[in-house]
Structure 1
Amino acid sequence: MQSLLAACDRRSPIGRRDYAVLMLLSRLGLRAGEVVALTLEDLDWDEGAIRVRGPALRCDPLPLPADVGAALAEYLREGRPPCSARNVFICARAPRQPLRGPSAVSCIVRRALQRAGIDAPFYGAHLLRHSLATQMLGDGASLGEIGQILRHRNVQTTTIYAKVDLGALRGLALPRPEGTS
């Protein structure tokens, strides 16, 4: 994650935008569509919170970690082009309009992975959501806790992340009988 974030040139408007997007994906586990849908009104600076519009018209308030808030503030002050759109993230090139859907966020992730020299099995935005869950699992979080962070309605949805904890799974495996290969 550090290499991916470091690959963003935060001296440029595009780099500031990409860094803020990557922070939302990697620290809050947002989906690409949730990043695209963010509006300026969804950011509550006084409360330190962000409102996320998820699937099925859900709207979830989340705490805004200081580092994510700082990345967003830097982009809004020094990177976001002036335009009438209320979306947080705007195309860097004319016409100045909101990002054109989740695929635009996945392109940001793919370019950042390439810049960082990271060869990943998947290149979309969901990779960072999955990485967050995997890191949490490795740090000892329960599937229930991970499901809360990722805003899963059903615990079964979160179980896909259990298969990546190879260390925990090894502890469950039976020893191989002697004389077998």
Structure 2
Amino acid sequence: MAAALEDFSRHLASELGRSEHTVRAYVGDVQTMMVHAARMGRTEPRGVDIAVLRSWLASLHTRGRARATLARRASAVRTFSAWAYRLGMLDTDVGAQLASLKAQRDLPDVLQPEDARTLLDAVADEAADGDPVALRDHAILETLYATGVRVGELVGLDLDHLDSGRRVLRVFGKGRRERSVPYGIPAERALQAWIERGRPELAAPAAGQALFVGVRGGRIGQRAVRTLVHARLRAVPDAPDLGPHGLRHSAATHVLEGGADLRAVQELLGHASLGTTQIYTHVSVDRLRKAYQQAHPRA
């Protein structure tokens, strides 16, 4: 079991190109299944069958695990099962017999456009004094809101991923899928100020070509970006407490409400499936009401 888990980890990272976070989560999920299988007397992968998987999920359910957690763990085990079957470790792809669990997804909070404006105007005022950290924070917030990129994609950006002439970012998303994401003039100005005046003050040799760097001079990490987003939003009256993912959702929602079609939002976010975008975005009641009033003959 341990050898299979180690090989599976390498498969996720090297062959599928999954992020470090995804590899850690999937390996952890499969490991809990293996521990459960061992308690049932199944000490090697070939002993894992559908009864083991159902018993494992049932035990998680009785311990109060959320439906979203169960769905993610089932997905991890299905990925492991398909891989192990292809390599001959399993006689059948037992994970394929496992019914898909649909996680109940509540629509997250988003910023109102005026809240986003307040947030960005406030940090822009601070950056006007030339403080390198304020310049960086301004560029990060403008980039997150302008492009809707994931925090992992943001911290992975290098200087040569920036095409300032066309105002386009070259982004590497999940599975190292590459996409081009446009950004507007405010983000362009913030990025230019950061690169010309802020980054030279903070960057150490360890930063390499990293677009955004931390206070110690190296490539900024995801935790630092989450911390700064939460901190900056706390200064906006009545704004929800959001992290970078909340800014991503806000960007997608505001683009959709501005008239973009769902396919355009899918491209912006880098979703492989349009169904994911349909879950991820929502149409405001105001927009729905306006569309109804314009289109329905008896509105």
Give me the CA root mean square deviation. 2.1
Specify the alignment match of 1:39 in structure 2: 158
Choose from 191, 204, 220 the match for 1:99.
220
Specify the alignment match of 2:260 in structure 1: 141
Specify the alignment match of 2:203 in structure 1: 82
Given the two structures, how large is their TM-score scaled by the length of structure 1?
0.82
Structure 1 pair 64/166, CA: closer, same or farther in 2 (3 Å)? closer
Q: Structure 2 regions of 5+ residues with no counterpart? A: 1-115, 293-299
Aligned residue pairs, count: 168
Specify the alignment match of 2:135 in structure 1: 16
Give the Cα–Cα distance (whole angstroms) in 2 for the partners of residues 78 and 117 of structure 1: 30
Structure 1 pair 134/64, CA: closer, same or farther in 2 (3 Å)? closer
The 8 Å contact of residues 135 and 198 in structure 2, kept in 1 or not, is answered as yes
Given the two structures, how large is their TM-score scaled by the length of structure 2?
0.52
Give the Cα–Cα distance (whole angstroms) in 2 for the partners of residues 146 and 88 of structure 1: 25
Give the Cα–Cα distance (whole angstroms) in 1 for the partners of residues 218 and 161 of structure 2: 18
**Secondary structure of the residue that 1:79 maps to in structure 2?**
helix
The 8 Å contact of residues 110 and 124 in structure 1, kept in 2 or not, is answered as yes
Structure 1 pair 48/5, CA: closer, same or farther in 2 (3 Å)? closer
**Secondary structure of the residue that 1:7 maps to in structure 2?**
helix
Give the Cα–Cα distance (whole angstroms) in 2 for the partners of residues 82 and 159 of structure 1: 40
Specify the alignment match of 2:230 in structure 1: 110
Aligned residues with identical type, % of pairs: 32
Give the Cα–Cα distance (whole angstroms) in 2 for the partners of residues 168 and 59 of structure 1: 32
Rg larger in 1 or in 2?
2
Q: Please say if 1:29 is aligned against 2:121.
A: no
- Residue type at the aligned position of 1:91: G
Where relative contact order (Cα < 8 A, 6+ residues apart) is larger, the structure is 1
